[in-house]
Amino acid sequence: QLKNAVLVKPIKGKSSRQVVYHPPTSATLKGAIQLGISYAVGNLSSKPDRDVLMQDFSVVESVFLPSEGSNLTPAHHYPDFRLKTYAPLAFRYFRELFGIKPDDYLYSICNEPLIELSNPGASSSWFYLTSDDEFIIKTVQHKEAEFLQKLLPGYYMNLNQNPRTLLPKFYGLYCIQCGGVTIRVVVMNNVLPRAMKMHYKYDLKGSSYKRRASRKERAKSSPTFKDLDFQEMHEGLHFDSDTYNALMNTLQRDCRVLESFKIMDYSLLLGIHVLDRKPLSRGSRCDSRKGQKVLYSTALESIQGNLKDPEPVADDDTLGGIPAKHKDESLLIFLGIIDILQSYRFIKKVEHSWKALVHDGDTVSVHRPSFYADRFLKFMGSTVFKKIHPLRGSSSKRKKGSLYAVKSASQEFLSTQKEEKKEEKKAQSMDNLDGNLYSSSIQPDLLPRTAVSFESTQNDEDGREKR
């Protein structure tokens, strides 16, 4: 906790003397974040709209906000602090791309006190949630903030090509220096709405080494489980064919983007709401998400660009969850890729090397980016997400039927024709049907081979089960 921490800084050249900094309390820090963002967005409104230039991604604006105020800054009841705003014009563009108006952005962040959340991960980050459930504010380390700023040009290009993504949506990057403490925060989309109870939460990487929730985590009222826990507690989440393909195609595209930036060690944050259990009151749901401010912010909207017949934007009853099945239970799934500010630097290579000496290298979560992406996708596409098997074989499955099945069908047809026509032109009918039988039996081999996809792989499995 911030309020219990004391920072000790030695004075250069005088090791016996020390300056003791008393960092701000959590309430003070949250207030400074809100005030700082309010000032930064308000100051940006005076700058004209224009295209984002390459140099805009590296801009850092700094301003000092004394408690008594100044010609440029308002007076406030917090300790003096300095605010740094990273790439303000670029992040303004990102917010506009997702339909976030400046007034709505400020209202969400500054209207009510921020809600402090617990952190289930191994990082030392703190998380704050806005009262309307729209935005998450996460503290990041200096290296992560630096990496995000370097990532911005590529992130800009990717969002322009496809705003529907399960990757984190970044809306702002700020730095607060207060009471001898430097805190960097990033504003992101909220993946798991509080208004919808998550009966299960998972942080999934596709690895098995140390991928089980600790006793301390399990004891929480709303624990976050991991990969091995999922395999023990669930037999896979089942989707209809179109939804499964859209979801996996979105994940595949996002993972290739991360791989191209040498990013790894990311996770899939997965929330599961069981519809058959006691629902929340409609009033609490509607109030929490009243007037959604962000485009493509829900899981369903994020994959709808890949759906053949996308459904209308989700209403307040589903909050944008993706319909799924587990055994006889109906579910709503909420998900997003998190923790992407990890590049495969030397420290990660060293970490993997010593882990692989003791454990199977393929099970360790820290891998080279290409291997990590492939393993991540394989785990999600085969263990976590599955297709609902249709009751009857589809036309594509019939085309992939065995030669024996084709012959049997043709022979049945031959027998029926013989009974109807009796003995009339029996020899001629037999010759014609034999010719048709030969043509139909070789027809599947004339079909062109297609590239392997999640859909074709699943159909092949269905065909083997049927046989």
SS3 string, the chain, reads CHHHCCEEEEECCEEEEEEEECCCCHHHHHHHHHHHHHHHHHHHCCCCCCCCCHHHHHCEEEEEECCCCCCCCCCCCCCCEEEEEECHHHHHHHHHHCCCCHHHHHHHHHCCCCEEECCCCCCCCCEEECCCCCEEEEEECHHHHHHHHHHHHHHHHHHHHCCCCCCCCEEEEEEEEECCEEEEEEEEECCCCCCCCCCEEEEECCCCCCCCCCHHHHCCCCCCECHHHHHHHCCCEEECHHHHHHHHHHHHHHHHHHHHCCECCCEEEEEEEECCCCCCCHHHHHHHCCCCCCCCCCHHHHHHHHCCCCCCCCCCCCCCCEEEEECCEEEEEEEEEECCCCECCHHHHHHHHHHHHHCCHHHCCCCCHHHHHHHHHHHHHHHHEEECCCCCCCHHHHHCCCHHHHHHHHHHHHHHHHHHHCCCCHHHHHHHHHHHHHHHHHHHHHCCCCCCCHHHHHHHHHHHHHC
Count H helices and E strands in the chain, helices first. Answer: 15, 15
| 17: its two tokens | 């003397």
| pLDDT for position 459 | 54
Dump the DSSP string for 388-399. PPPSS--HHHHH
User: ∠ CA 248-256-146 to the nearest 5 degrees?
Assistant: 125
Is the pLDDT at 307 greater than 50, yes or no? no
Query: Considering only CA atoms, which of 361, 384, 86, 12 is closest in space to residue 234?
Result: 384
Of 16-25, 101-110, 416-425, 431-440, the one with minimum mean pLDDT is 431-440
Provide the 10 A C-beta neighbour count for residue 199: 14
Is the pLDDT at 403 greater than 80, yes or no? no
Rounded CA separation 130/104 (Å): 12
CB 441 within 8 A of CB 410: yes
Highest mean pLDDT among 109-123, 130-144, 429-443: 130-144
* Whole-number percent of the chain with pLDDT over 70: 64
pLDDT grade for 203, boundaries at 50, 70 and 90: very high
Q: Which residues pair with 8 in a beta bridge?
A: 20
pLDDT grade for 284, boundaries at 50, 70 and 90: very low
Mean local confidence (pLDDT), 175-190: 92
124-172 tens-digit pLDDT: 788 999 999 899 999 999 999 999 999 999 999 988 888 889 999 999 9
* Whole-number percent of the chain with pLDDT over 90: 44
Rounded CA separation 82/177 (Å): 5
Higher pLDDT, 7 or 158: 158
Is the pLDDT at 104 greater than 80, yes or no? yes
| pLDDT for position 371 | 93
| pLDDT for position 317 | 64
- What are the start and end residues of each CATH 3.30.800.10 domain in the chain? 2-189
Mean local confidence (pLDDT), 263-284: 76
Please, what is the average pLDDT of the chain? Answer: 75
Higher pLDDT, 358 or 444: 358
Higher pLDDT, 346 or 133: 133
Is the pLDDT at 301 greater than 50, yes or no? yes
211-263 tens-digit pLDDT: 898 888 888 888 999 989 999 888 889 999 999 999 999 999 999 999 999 99
Is the pLDDT at 195 greater than 50, yes or no? yes
Query: Considering only CA atoms, which of 264, 243, 234, 260 is closest in space to residue 337?
Result: 264
Rounded CA separation 142/217 (Å): 27
Domain 200-387 is of which CATH architecture? 2-Layer Sandwich (3.30)
- What are the start and end residues of each CATH 3.30.810.10 domain in the chain? 200-387
pLDDT grade for 386, boundaries at 50, 70 and 90: very high
Q: State which fold the 2-189 domain adopts.
A: Phosphatidylinositol Phosphate Kinase II Beta (3.30.800)
Is the pLDDT at 363 greater than 50, yes or no? yes
Is the pLDDT at 120 greater than 90, yes or no? no
Rounded CA separation 274/198 (Å): 8
162-187 exposure pattern, b = at least 16 Cβ within 10 A, e = fewer: ebbbbbbbbbbbbbbbbbebebbbbb
- Give me the sign of the Cα torsion angle 363, 366, 368, 371: positive
pLDDT grade for 6, boundaries at 50, 70 and 90: very low
CB 321 within 8 A of CB 334: yes
Rounded CA separation 336/149 (Å): 21
| pLDDT for position 119 | 62
33-89 tens-digit pLDDT: 999 999 999 999 888 889 999 999 999 999 999 999 899 899 999 999 999 999 999
Collapsing DSSP to helix, strand or coil, 8 comes out as: strand
Query: Considering only CA atoms, which of 131, 113, 259 is closest in space to residue 190?
Result: 131
Of 17-26, 215-224, 414-423, the one with minimum mean pLDDT is 414-423
Collapsing DSSP to helix, strand or coil, 185 comes out as: strand
| pLDDT for position 179 | 82
Q: What is the DSSP letter of 133?
A: S
Rounded CA separation 341/315 (Å): 32
| 97: its two tokens | 């791309």
Query: Considering only CA atoms, which of 417, 270, 261, 422 is closest in space to residue 331?
Result: 270
Collapsing DSSP to helix, strand or coil, 294 comes out as: coil
